[in-house]
Structure 1
């Protein structure tokens, strides 16, 4: 491996080389960052490196995963979300960070307990830093180390941190793969050059020939990339391709209503008439 600045997706392959360094920084505070930090923390004694976990977030957030909240990852919520206007969907997605950008509570607690235990034994070779946004990264090839520059927004100051290795658990960007070029004219696109998905996950102009997975957050909501909904999506796509429902597709599993109930007890009133 040429250097030690890696993305979290490459952590497993890079771990052994990374642990030869004297200092390691983990950037980001989502589930992947937490799992990597915890894994390195457990083995830091045997490899004798220092470990620093840095995030721009004001704290290390717990992912919101109570049972009623998790009902937003359901066929019921897909139907509700898909029917909303595009601008409303975008606004909703922007407010749902806590549903997928935090860390599960059990892992946060395990990290805390391990840090506390290490402190009681005089092994304080790990540091956690919040409110710090990474603005620059410079690799010094002579010294084989990195100079990371951060801004602490609350205090209004910049600072640098020198580390031998760095792991960036900063998420992913979606790009249209090159192999799509050959069928681009058959695909429906929105104004921002994103796939325009039908409710059945088709993106072609005939709405039944080209299907996608994990590419429709703005149309289907957070259920689209969720791995727990893979079987549901696959069942829907298989039904569209074959015309047969090979696997039962659940329509309603939520205990709550996301839209105004369609019963006589609930009467919709236009906003301008309130």
Structure 2
């Protein structure tokens, strides 16, 4: 999960990593698929999976779709599936329930199929364990795997002109040492986010002692192999992921010293009260999209505390209790929150050295760590590089995406391109989250079918 209070659309991990254009493929053999698909979707995280489920539920029988995913199998934020971590949204906001409660792809049907429906109900909660929700997503993906080509990294999308006419889109992917081109009448770009690491950490970019939070569960024991060692670990970030990792380290390495480095004066609680939660309702997208642009930007900025650099209140209570316990007689102060602190410089020697500055007092400190985990979120601009070869066919700014997530293309282009998970500036804070995926998948599919 990214460093947000709510569960991000799974595309933010396990999505395609994109190069600037198809021309970047070198010394490869190539083949062209003679078939023409009604839809080619780039990436297969939850946003794309939700579209695949909508296709399976309601698309015409002759509708042909292909999803290209660079991972070898479906996975959702596998690097942040911490033990006993729970979802931050209720199971009703799964990939199908709000679109069609009778769909076979609901979380409730998943529980029923695995003999756990009554047991889950007995827990009296709307919030599944995160590992169980990930298993639900994999279960859904397994039912539409005939639409998916795994192990393919997309490197470019072109819309070639021949004789003054634009034909189908050509999507080029890399499979091992070979390039493969497929043609589609329509394209959805659902590549999710790529780990964002602040520039100040560049000197440690190649060091095994620096990792992004998205790799935590994959790499933590390879980087810190001794459970009882007195490691020094820093976590940088003030969101849910940072706080979860900070808490997890306390139990995973009982003798470690850990610092949570945050710029704010204190960790802030996420606001998930029911009235505020309505900003994540599917119909709230209409309200946001049709606002005056300046008012919309102000509204999104005002509501950022619902999702960014905030932590669930139950985790805040746990962390406060843990830190208080250290103050009692006989306890060692191993863990600290370094508030109002910025990382001004980074160096690498035997360990990662952080030059820290207290923004209130100006006091500076140089600290050495065996591992630094940056929980600093994700960039969502991969679509810009992917679509660069066809930029001349845009009929306006890529930011002018329509309400149905379609890019404005020149009228001579017969098909369409839809964006998923990178439209927060126009569609609001729910754009990269799970909350609206069920409804949005049907909206996108309806738009594609209308174009078809």
1:162 and 1:69 map into 2 onto residues whose CA distance is 41
Gaps of 5+ in 2: 1-205
Cα deviation, residue 189, structure 1: 4.8
1:7 and 1:50 map into 2 onto residues whose CA distance is 19
Give CA deviations for 1:37-56 in whole Å, capped at 9, x if unaligned.
111112221xx221111100
Match of 1:71 in 2: 278
Aligned: 1:8 with 2:213: yes
Match of 1:232 in 2: 439
Asked if the contact 1:132–1:151 (Cα under 8 Å) also holds between the matched residues in 2, the reply is yes
Out of 98, 113, 116, the residue aligned to residue 321 of structure 2 is 113
1:171 and 1:243 map into 2 onto residues whose CA distance is 35
CA separation of 1:169 and 1:66: change in aligned 2, threshold 3 A: same
Which structure: greater strand fraction? Answer: 2
2:294 and 2:363 map into 1 onto residues whose CA distance is 36
1:188 and 1:39 map into 2 onto residues whose CA distance is 49
Asked if the contact 1:188–1:195 (Cα under 8 Å) also holds between the matched residues in 2, the reply is no
Where do 1:14-25 residues align within 5 Å? 14-20=219-225, 22-25=231-234
1:151 and 1:2 map into 2 onto residues whose CA distance is 23
Out of 259, 269, 273, the residue aligned to residue 62 of structure 1 is 269
2:252 and 2:395 map into 1 onto residues whose CA distance is 49
- RMSD (CA atoms): 2.3
2:404 and 2:371 map into 1 onto residues whose CA distance is 44
Task: State TM-score, norm by structure 1.
Answer: 0.78
2:300 and 2:259 map into 1 onto residues whose CA distance is 31
Aligned: 1:150 with 2:359: no
Cα deviation, residue 183, structure 1: 2.9
Cα deviation, residue 75, structure 1: 2.8
Give CA deviations for 1:98-137 in whole Å, capped at 9, x if unaligned.
1112001111122223334455461431111111122211
Cα deviation, residue 17, structure 1: 2.6
2:311 and 2:403 map into 1 onto residues whose CA distance is 30
Match of 2:377 in 1: 171
Match of 1:51 in 2: 258
Asked if the contact 1:19–1:49 (Cα under 8 Å) also holds between the matched residues in 2, the reply is no
Asked if the contact 1:150–1:158 (Cα under 8 Å) also holds between the matched residues in 2, the reply is yes
Aligned: 1:103 with 2:307: no
Out of 176, 196, 217, the residue aligned to residue 424 of structure 2 is 217
Out of 340, 365, 368, the residue aligned to residue 159 of structure 1 is 365
Q: Which structure carries more relative contact order (alpha carbon 8 Å, separation 6+)?
A: 2
After the TM superposition, which parts of structure 1 deviate over 4 Å for at least 4 consecutive aligned residues? Answer: 117-121
Gaps of 5+ in 1: 245-274
Aligned: 1:195 with 2:404: no
Give CA deviations for 1:181-218 in whole Å, capped at 9, x if unaligned.
3333333553xxx5321000111326971111111111
Aligned: 1:91 with 2:298: yes
Give the number of equivalent residue pairs. 236
Cα deviation, residue 93, structure 1: 2.3
Asked if the contact 1:24–1:163 (Cα under 8 Å) also holds between the matched residues in 2, the reply is yes
CA separation of 1:162 and 1:188: change in aligned 2, threshold 3 A: farther
Cα deviation, residue 74, structure 1: 1.6
1:67 and 1:94 map into 2 onto residues whose CA distance is 19
Match of 1:29 in 2: 238
